[in-house]
């Protein structure tokens, strides 16, 4: 047996798999911002050791989804206007670059794939969860079509960190219909090979989603403030 390899190394993938599942639950709202993630309960749920859970939580902290504090444990990170604005600004730059490159490299088979995704997006425009998931799949497809593996990796890694805000920005059906129109313009630009137009449309799409998310976030924050005030008065 080659001493450079050992079965124990394969176990390192387990924390990653668990972190992905916890991340999905956070994005779906199963764990709320500020909620504590208890190691014992998670270890029992996944039937693994607490050490494995701790490693999974550290991975989530690297993604910005969890904050770990000594003596206080791990908590789901709270949402903020500053983070929302910063994340979408970076996302807009990444996605505009991906679309520009996709326009330069895509062939008829690639365009057919994008057209198929557009059809599915339109069919699910009335469903927030499905539309959001398909929007993410479309982003991943364009990232792959860019033929830039580093860029595609960053877009994929960034997706979970910004996922809560993306879903927030697509809660309203009217916002999703505007999003769908922009997706169609983007695919048209990619098909025509117009990298500059593709980059600009995708940047506007990302920033429009930011505006939608910001509107929802500020509305929820105001509702929470009013509720807290009412409780205090009672």
pLDDT tens-digit readout, 41-64: 999 999 999 999 999 999 999 888
The per-residue pLDDT string of the chain (234 residues; one tens digit each, 9 = 90 and over) reads 445 545 444 445 899 899 989 988 988 788 988 999 999 999 999 999 999 999 999 999 988 899 999 888 999 998 899 999 999 999 999 999 999 999 999 999 999 999 999 999 999 999 999 999 999 999 999 999 999 999 999 999 888 889 889 999 999 999 999 999 999 999 999 999 999 999 999 999 999 999 999 999 998 655 544 444 443 444
User: Which has the closest alpha carbon to 145: 187, 207, 180, 203?
Assistant: 187
Whether the CB-CB separation of 136 and 159 falls below 8 Å is answered with yes
Which residues are bridge partners to 79 per DSSP? none
Question: Tokens 């990298």 — which residue?
Answer: 195
Whole-number Å distance between alpha carbons of 77 and 68: 9
User: Which has the closest alpha carbon to 51: 42, 60, 62?
Assistant: 42
- Residue ranges of domains in the chain, CATH in brackets: 7-76 (1.10.10.10), 81-222 (1.20.120.530)
Question: Tokens 């910004």 — which residue?
Answer: 162
**Total-model pTM:** 0.79
């Amino acid at each position: 047996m080659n001493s450079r390899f050992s079965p124990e190394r394969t176990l390192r993938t387990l924390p990653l798999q668990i972190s992905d599942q916890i991340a999905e639950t956070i994005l779906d709202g199963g764990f709320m911002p500020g909620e504590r993630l208890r190691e014992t309960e998670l270890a029992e749920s996944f039937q693994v050791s607490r050490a494995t859970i701790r490693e999974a939580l550290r991975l989530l902290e690297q993604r910005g989804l969890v904050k770990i504090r000594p003596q206080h444990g791990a908590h789901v990170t709270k949402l903020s206007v500053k983070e929302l604005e910063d994340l979408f600004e970076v996302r807009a730059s990444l996605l505009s670059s991906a679309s520009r490159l996709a326009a330069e490299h895509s062939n008829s088979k690639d365009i057919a794939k994008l057209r198929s995704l557009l059809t599915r997006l339109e069919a699910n425009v009335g469903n927030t969860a499905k539309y959001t998931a398909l929007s993410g799949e479309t982003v991943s497809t364009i990232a792959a079509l860019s033929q830039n593996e580093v860029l595609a990796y960053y877009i994929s890694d960034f997706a979970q960190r910004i996922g809560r805000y993306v879903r927030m920005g697509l809660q309203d059906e009217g916002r999703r219909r505007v999003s769908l129109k922009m997706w169609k313009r983007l695919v048209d630009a990619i098909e025509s090979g117009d990298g500059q137009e593709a980059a600009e449309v995708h940047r506007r799409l990302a920033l429009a989603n930011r505006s939608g998310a910001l509107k929802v976030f500020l509305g929820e924050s105001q509702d929470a403030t009013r509720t807290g005030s009412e409780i205090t008065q009672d």
